Amino acid sequence: MSYSNEAATQFDPKSLDLALLALNELAKRKLSKKITFDRNDILKFCESIIAKNDDLQVQLIENLIGRGISLDIIYETFIPEAAESLGNLWKENKVTFIEVNIGAQRLHRLSRIYEKQYLGPMYIFSEGPDILLILPGQEVHTLGLVTASGIFKKNGANPFIAVGYSDEEIIELIKLQSFKLIGMSVSNSDNIASCIKTAKKIKKSITKNIPMVVGGQGINQAKSPELFEVFDQITTNPSEALELIKEPNYN
């Protein structure tokens, strides 16, 4: 008892506060150091997709999470980069077109599985701006559009995905609904011309001043100067695209 009383009389609340502040600062520094994946992780994941090993695909993602890699990085970066790697393997004649398509479908399914965890329960409903996301003609892969949709949701926006719409149907949709942003996704750089054609037609047919953005893995190899003439922004980051809505001209 004498030891406890002595300890109590020597207790300094200020010292405890300083200690807690120091621990809090250390925790913040630890969280700020984002752990990420490497090229080998992507290659292993692509191999599991080509081998149609569903269990291994999930296990590899769970292993990344176990290493401390955030679900944000997996959803926003890892899965899209895996899709790009599959496309590159096809261009290098290392996989068949059928294998790439099957792989894209599997990535799409995984993206849907992890989207709920990525968003969490707070992002089911939003009162944020309505955004139109378009898959241009000739494009067949929707993974980039779906991933972008999830990121937009997490940033408080309400994305509407238009897949299989004709240019006329898209224009009618824009006239009927109050979209604040229009985005287009190109996974294959060969389809950029079709994307530009649709964008030009939209701009000529509507009177609303709506910013237009183009993204997707296909723009990484794009050299067309027309992209910069037609679109207000070219980016693979949906969070950057949302900055356009904050501009006074688009309120």
Query: Phi and psi (nearest 5°) for 51?
Result: -80, -5
Shared domain check, 91 and 152:
no
Distance in angstroms (rounded) separating the CA atoms of residues 103 and 45: 11
Contact present, 42 and 77 (Cβ < 8 Å)? no
Shared domain check, 142 and 62:
no
- In this prediction the pTM is 0.70
Shared domain check, 229 and 138:
yes
Tally the domains of the chain: 2
Q: Which of 91, 119, 147 is the last residue of a domain?
A: 119
The per-residue pLDDT for 9 is: 39
Q: Which domain holds residue 69?
A: 39-119
Distance in angstroms (rounded) separating the CA atoms of residues 153 and 128: 9
Q: Does residue 19 form part of some domain?
A: no
pLDDT digits (tens, 9 = 90+) for 143-152: 888 888 888 9
Contact present, 129 and 157 (Cβ < 8 Å)? yes
pLDDT digits (tens, 9 = 90+) for 68-112: 888 888 888 898 888 888 888 887 888 888 888 888 888 888 888
The per-residue pLDDT for 169 is: 92
pLDDT digits (tens, 9 = 90+) for 181-206: 999 988 888 888 889 999 999 999 98
- In CATH, what number is assigned to the domain containing residue 110? 1.10.1240.10
The DSSP element (H or E) to which 46 belongs, if any, is helix 39-50
